[in-house]
Amino acid sequence: MRYVATISGRKYTIDLEDNGHVRRVSVDGHEMRLDWQPLAADRDAATSHYSLLTGGKSYDVYARAIEDPDDSGESVARTIEIHLSGFPYVVTVHDERTEALASLAGGAHISGDATIRAPMPGLVTNILVSAGQEIKRGQTAIVLEAMKMENDLTTPRAGVVKEIRVARGQTVAQNDVLAVIGDPTGTAAPDDTDE
């Protein structure tokens, strides 16, 4: 299966051959083998924990869906926040067909409430946004110290910070809601029409 992943504005073409836990992956033509296994047994948790073995090295990977495909069964983009070796990455993944359709349609607008959740247990060391503040997608909102590393938790969408549910110095558990991002009060979801 072929996918297109966008990380920090850069697109990567990924060909994936799945053979159980060992996967053969080609990223922009560079082939590698991955041994990728889930570690967390809780399927209802917002954040998943994985073990990744590649190139003779082992990594702990935490992943949480920021935006999921809709329930209609349509193939749409999925945005995932990945924490790898203590560094956060926001990755948008979709198949080639969706990439082609999105480029024709100009992409989708995002509306409705979205949450920022703790990807792992930790200590809130900084809060960089406040309730009522307008924010951009991917903007650092909260800094969480976990495993002796500081992790920047980014906003999943542009909009307004509706709630901050934690305080600086607070200890949080994995999947705790830290903040809620939504549409500005009194505004409807944007549409593609020009006035």
pLDDT digits (tens, 9 = 90+) for 39-70: 865 555 678 888 888 888 999 888 888 765 54
User: CA nearest 134: which of 155, 110, 109, 112?
Assistant: 155
Label residue 179 by pLDDT band (50, 70, 90): very high
Q: If you write DSSP's letter for every residue of 158-171 in order, what string do you get?
A: SEEEEEE---TT-E
CB-based contacts of 28, cutoff 8 Å, min separation 6: 12, 13
DSSP string, 135-158: E-TT-EEEEEEETTEEEEEEPSSS
CATH number for 110-185 (one of 3.40.50.300, 2.40.50.100, 1.10.3720.10, 3.40.50.11540): it is 2.40.50.100
Range of 68-77, 97-106, 133-142 with top mean pLDDT? 133-142
Question: What pLDDT sits at residue 101?
Answer: 43
For the chain, the domains span 1-108, 110-185
pLDDT attached to residue 96: 62
The tens digit of pLDDT for each residue in 101-113 reads 444 333 334 567 8
Please give the biggest Cα pair distance in the chain.
57
Provide the pLDDT for residue 77. Answer: 66
Q: What's the chain's average pLDDT?
A: 77
Both tokens of 70, joined, read 């809709």
Pick the CATH number of 1-108 from 2.60.120.380, 3.40.50.2300, 3.40.50.300, 3.30.700.30: 3.30.700.30
**Which tops the pLDDT comparison, 148 or 89?**
89
Handedness of CA 190, 71, 140, 171 (dihedral sign): positive
Residue 25 in this model has a pLDDT that exceeds 60: yes
